[in-house]
Structure 1
Amino acid sequence: MKALVLAGGAGTRLRPLSYSMPKQLIPIANKPVLQHIVESIRDLGVTEIGIVVGSGNTDLADAMGDGSRYGVAFTWIVQERPLGLAHAVRVAGPYLGDSDFMMYLGDNMLPDGVADMAADFATARPAAQLVVSRVPDPRAFGVAELNDAGRVVRLTEKPEQPRSDLALTGVYFFTPAIHRAVENVTPSARGELEITDAIQLLIDDGHTVRAGRYRGYWKDTGRAEDVLDCNRHLLRSLRSRLAGHIGDGCEISGAVVIEEGARVLRSRITGPVVIGAGTVVEDSHIGPGTCVAADCTLRGVELSDSIVLDGATLSGVSGLYGSVIGRHASVTSGESPERHRLLVGDHTRIEVAA
């Protein structure tokens, strides 16, 4: 079996971060989303992974390489225009050939894994098997309706009046039967070739489509709030590892990782916290739920429940929480506590105390 990861899309809900980096490279627990997905696929024993990217997007390939560092082999596939998930399968057709494959949307996190569903698919081998999860409000999702035998009888994309609470999670298993369906599907009202429509064609043609219920943590990391929530969730299972330098006068409590080459001086670290390689933390309090990436500098900072990306500098600021600080960004205190000086890009959101 092969895997297909869809990693296109503009990431508009993650602006301004996604202006300068693909959303799949945003780190959660100091590891890019795409790496989490690749490792989850590899753990199923699947080592051939095609990754669909948009035209001109070389950042992902530059960052992730050929897959060898993760024990897999990548094939990079370009989708010239974002014409839908079924169109992405069309584009990947020559790579997939006659293989069964799993398809994974590149901004979805299912950290508890889908091993049970993969085993069910390998045993029963329906034309398609969907990974679904119960949600309180299915109107924002593709929704699967099942009969008493557990077969999918209808798929509806973002229904106004859902007839089921089983939402598609963004992970699918397919036999080659899907290729004929994606060739025959027509554009939806929004002008895209929908994978839900292609799967419905399989159902209408008498193919067996089944659904396996995922009961673990699931998050679409399309918004900053979702990235932070997922970061908090993954950090709950963090195990301490203190490989960097910890100076005198430091207080370390809870699960804390300090990577090799990091330096923590005269600071209090309250886990779960990850401090990346080469980062310097001085005279600061870093609170729970925080990941600081590599080569950052934090001096005189109070920070919690946040993600700080590579090379950022924070100095003399307190009360920071629920924040995502971009690569090589600078956040410093002003000359007067009553005045604020900002350099703000498009789609930035800032909260300033009154």
Structure 2
Amino acid sequence: MKIVVPMAGRGSRLRPHTLTTPKPLVKIAGKPIVHRLVEDLAAMSDDKLEEIAFVVGDFGKEVERELIEIAESLGAKGKIYYQDEPLGTAHAIYCAADSLDGNVIVAFADTLFKADFTIDRSQDGIIWTQRVEDPSAFGVVKLDEEGVITDFIEKPQEYVSDHAIIGIYYFKEAEKLKAELKYLIDNNIMNSGEYQLTGALENMKAKGTKFKPGTVDHWLDCGNKEALVHTNRNYLDFIKDQDLISESAKLNNAVIISPVYIGEGVEINNAVVGPYVSVGKNTKISNAVVQNSIVQEYTVIAKVNIENSVVGNYVNYVGRAKDLSIGDFTSVKE
């Protein structure tokens, strides 16, 4: 089994945090979004995970090394491919053409999910969906009476289906996908100025590939600050039975309200932290109340009362209560 993760976009809706960190590497409950994603994908398969291929932009060698380490932590080989221009979903996947053979999961690093199943490898292909109230914002699928996907529709303006595609796909023979992606690009077949994956899926379906829908229990967005805080909250609920407080954390006169994640080297003095708070390594919190928030690494927070907030890395924040989204290397004092 291989996993291909297109993740070249920087995530403009999550600025200022993505000005210094690519969105898939922003941390949720102590791990990058993309790390959480591939962990959950690996758990879906009974097969050995051979390779994780990441399709990136110009993120730099340090980011690439981190991605390789994520793959290796799951016992897989990591590969890096590049998408130099944002030319659509089909183009992004085709950038990893050399990895498109055999059993492959394609997962866009925009969202996280939770589900309780393993992949049925007898299926030609599986496209994971979830029912939504407003299908016009998503690509959707239509199903026949036997539960086979009959149509793919990009952001329908009139109601045709509420089964939204969440961006995770399984292909039994990824060579067929590669051939159809190549066909779109070689013949310059675009939709709204981009090469769309749904075009390749339609061609595969027309040639006999049967796609079945898969469903997830939870589909979690990481697109903006509010969504990131909500996803952190949900993820902490999912993993609350794990030991989420590092042994190296120093807690002095601290009230910790679970679920929380507290990383290595964290110091908390005269403070209330939680519920639903993630604190990155070597961060210091004192004389503060922090609830339902993400505080990243090497940050200092003092004399504040914050909630529903995201505070970046290397931030020095001393002041009054706010609903915050503060990027890396910021200094704020009252």
Q: What is the TM-score of this pair, normalised by structure 2?
A: 0.88
Offset, 1:88 = 2.0
Pair 1:265 & 2:272 matched:
no
Question: Which one of the candidate residues 53, 73, 85 is aligned to 1:69?
Answer: 73
2-structure distance, mates of 1:200, 1:47: 28
Q: Structure 2 CA distance, aligned partners of 1:163 and 1:60?
A: 41
Residue in 2 that maps onto 1:133 = 130
Tell me the SS of whatever aligns to 1:37: helix
Residue in 1 that maps onto 2:182: 183
How far 1:59 moved relative to its partner?
Answer: 4.2
8 Å contact from structure 1 (residues 151, 208) kept in 2: no
Paired position in structure 1 for 2:57:
54
Per-residue CA distance 1:10-30 (angstroms, 9 max, x = gap): 200100000000111111111
Q: Secondary structure at the match of 1:65?
A: helix
- Aligned counterparts of 2:190 and 2:287: Cα–Cα separation in 1: 53
Number of residue pairs matched? 320
Is 1:34 the counterpart of 2:37 in the alignment?
A: no
Distance in 2 between residues matched to 1:103 and 1:279, nearest whole Å: 36
Tell whether the 8 Å contact from 1:132 to 1:168 is kept in structure 2 after alignment. Answer: yes
Cα pair distance change 1:54/1:65, threshold 3 Å: same
1:89 partner SS = helix
Note the alpha carbon deviations across 1:277-330, whole angstroms, 9 max, x for none. Answer: 101100111121101110001111111000000011101112x10000000111
Counterpart residue type for residue 324 of structure 1: V
Correspondent of 1:297 among 278, 281, 284 = 284
Does structure 2 conserve the Cα–Cα contact (< 8 Å) formed by 1:132 and 1:211? no
Q: CA deviation at 1:220?
A: 2.5
CA–CA distance in structure 2, aligned partners of residues 311 and 134 of structure 1: 40
Identity within the alignment, %: 28
Letter paired with 1:77? Y
What does residue 94 of structure 1 align with? Answer: 98
Say if 2:171 is the partner of 1:156: no
Conserved? CA contact 1:178–1:202, under 8 Å: yes
Cα-to-partner distance string for 1:244-294 (whole Å, 9 max, x where unaligned): xxxxxxxxxxxxx32021101112111111211101100111121101110
Match of 1:223 in 2: 224
Runs of 4+ aligned structure 1 residues displaced above 4 Å come to none
Q: Deviations over 1:69-105 (max 9, x none)?
A: 2221111111121211111222211232x32311011
1:173 and 2:159 aligned: no
Q: Which has the greater radius of gyration?
A: 1
Which structure 2 residue ranges, 5 or more long, are not aligned? none
The separation in 1 between residues aligned to 2:242 and 2:90, in whole angstroms, is 43
* One-letter amino acid of the counterpart of residue 327, structure 1: N
**Relative to 1, partners in 2 of residues 1:58 and 1:113: Cα closer, same or farther, differing over 3 Å?**
farther
| Structural mapping, 1:84-123, within 5 Å | 84-96=88-100, 98-112=101-115, 115=118, 118-119=119-120, 122-123=121-122
| Residue pair 1:50, 1:95 contacting (<8 A) in 2 also | yes
TM, length-normalised to structure 1: 0.84
- 2:58–2:84 Cα contact (<8 Å) kept: yes
CA distance in 1, matches of 2:327, 2:67: 27
1:306 paired to 2:296: no
Distance 1:59 1:17, change over 3 A: farther
Closer, same or farther in 2 for the Cα pair 1:266/1:325, shift >3 Å?
Answer: same
Where structure 1 has 5 or more consecutive residues not aligned to the other structure, the ranges are 242-256
Q: Secondary structure at the match of 2:95?
A: helix
Contact kept, 8 Å, 2:283 with 2:300, in 1: the verdict is: yes
Contact 1:258/1:276 (8 A) holds in 2: yes
Specify which of 311, 316, 333 is matched with residue 325 of structure 1: 311
Structure 1 Cα separation of the partners of residues 3 and 307 of structure 2 = 37
Contact 1:42 1:72 in 2 (8 A): no
- How far the C-alpha of 1:331 sits from its partner, in A, is 1.1
Report the AA paired with residue 306 of structure 1.
S
Root mean square deviation, CA, Å: 2.5
3-state SS of 1:110 partner? strand
